Amino acid sequence: MFRYRRALLALLLAFPLALAAPGLAHADSPVAMTSGFYVDPHSSPAAWAAANPSDGRAAAIKNNIAAKPMARWFGNWSGTIGTATGAFVGAADAVDKLPVLVAYNIPNRDICGGHSGGGAGSADAYRTWIAAFASGIGSRPAVVILEPDALGDTSCMTPAQIAERNALLNNAIDQFNQKAPNTWVYLDAGNPAWLAAPTMAQHLADAGVRKAHGFSLNVSNYLTTGENTAYGNAINAKLSSSYGYTKPYAIDTSRNGYGSNGAWCNPAGRKLGTPTQLGGGAEMLLWVKTPGESDGNCGVGAGSVAGQFLPEVAYKMVYGY
């Protein structure tokens, strides 16, 4: 009890914007149960900077990227998933901070885009995986971004595949609600350049967003916070008129400092965006995609694979060139 009173006091000092966002300062929310967002000491930019201290780019990457709160992504590379999520959330809980996790293992992941293809081998495998993901978090506070691209990347899918995906996302939200009661789940809703807001609102409703805390926008993309705020509000207008509810949303601002140049896969000349915080037009602005990690074998990341850390790309994002 003392810990949560102390954490709530720290919240008022560290997260003043929480008072302007309805629901954020409730004593039973994951925000109020912690004293700030978690900085992952084992992120890819932190690991690179530690391994290359004499590199002329290391200080800029360490101070401007590695020192900021970012999400950690979990997928089929994560080993025993409950152990992996449990260790990450446990490390954050030990220092009274709020971790952000990304669940990225839906079957037929990135089926239309292709650069991040993969995911669980079957629907049953995914149901087992996501249940263990949630169990690893348990009652500790956390934020989860659920399956980036899953609702935007459907143009090449059959109706049966879409129905199966919606069923899996509905079940995933149920698993978090049952097994990780202090986790806020944001079901990913793509970005403003992908689908019209009314279409995305329908996709969200079909995938169970009513049961989730909210939805996420702009994950791994570059569109401005203003563009995403307008899109999020338009989605909520449609959710309200068609389904009778609205939801909070979070925006990935990790790489949107200059906005988009029209390309989504490792475009040149991008810049870091507003660091992770509460408020700022959305309920949260989050660094979901790690700056410097490749989008795939494309653009300034030619020859890389999705998720590979590219120090030169990271360094240039610090300065915007």
Please determine, for residue 1, whether its predicted confidence score (pLDDT) is greater than 60.
Answer: no
Kindly report the CATH number that applies to the domain delimited by 37-319.
Answer: 3.20.20.40
Inter-CA distances, 292 with 240, 270, 272, 273, 300, Å: 37, 11, 10, 13, 11
How much is the pTM?
0.92
Three-state SS for 17? helix
- What is the rounded CA–CA span in Å between residue 282 and residue 235? 13
Q: Which pLDDT does position 10 carry in this prediction?
A: 44
Q: Which pLDDT does position 4 carry in this prediction?
A: 41
Please determine, for residue 7, whether its predicted confidence score (pLDDT) is greater than 60.
Answer: no
Percent of the chain scoring above 70 in pLDDT: 91
> What is the band of 28 on the pLDDT scale with cuts at 50, 70, 90?
confident
Please determine, for residue 19, whether its predicted confidence score (pLDDT) is greater than 50.
Answer: no
- What is the rounded CA–CA span in Å between residue 4 and residue 18? 16
- What is the rounded CA–CA span in Å between residue 95 and residue 39? 10
Whats the size of the chain, residue-wise? 321
149 flagged as catalytic: yes
What CA dihedral angle connects 54, 57, 62 and 65, to 10 degrees? -160
Work out the average pLDDT over 43-66.
98
* Long-range contacts, 195-199 (Cβ 8 Å, 24+): 195/152, 197/231, 197/234, 197/235, 197/237, 197/238, 198/234, 198/238
Work out the average pLDDT over 148-160.
93
To the nearest whole number, what is the mean pLDDT of the chain?
Answer: 92
Q: Which pLDDT does position 18 carry in this prediction?
A: 39
- What is the rounded CA–CA span in Å between residue 53 and residue 219? 30
Higher-confidence position of 104 and 23? 104
Q: Which pLDDT does position 27 carry in this prediction?
A: 59
Structure confidence by residue, pLDDT tens digits, 122-142:
999 999 999 999 999 999 999
Please give the span between the terminal C-alpha atoms of the chain, in angstroms, as a whole number.
48
> What is the band of 24 on the pLDDT scale with cuts at 50, 70, 90?
low
> What is the band of 41 on the pLDDT scale with cuts at 50, 70, 90?
very high
Q: Supply the DSSP symbol for 81.
A: H
Work out the average pLDDT over 72-89.
97
- What is the rounded CA–CA span in Å between residue 98 and residue 42? 16
Q: Which of 15, 5, 4 is nearest to 37 (CA)?
A: 15
Percent of the chain scoring above 90 in pLDDT: 85
Q: Supply the DSSP symbol for 275.
A: P
The DSSP annotation for 181-237 comes to TTEEEEEE---TTTS-HHHHHHHHHHTTGGGSSEEEE-TT----HHHHHHHHHHHHH
Work out the average pLDDT over 30-49.
97
Q: Which pLDDT does position 116 carry in this prediction?
A: 78
Structure confidence by residue, pLDDT tens digits, 161-220:
999 999 999 999 999 999 999 999 999 999 999 999 999 999 999 999 999 999 999 999
Q: Which residues of the chain form beta strands (DSSP E)?
A: 72-74, 100-103, 142-146, 183-188, 214-217, 249-252, 277-278, 284-286
Q: Which pLDDT does position 112 carry in this prediction?
A: 85
Of 40, 110, 149, 153, the catalytic one is 149
Work out the average pLDDT over 48-63.
98
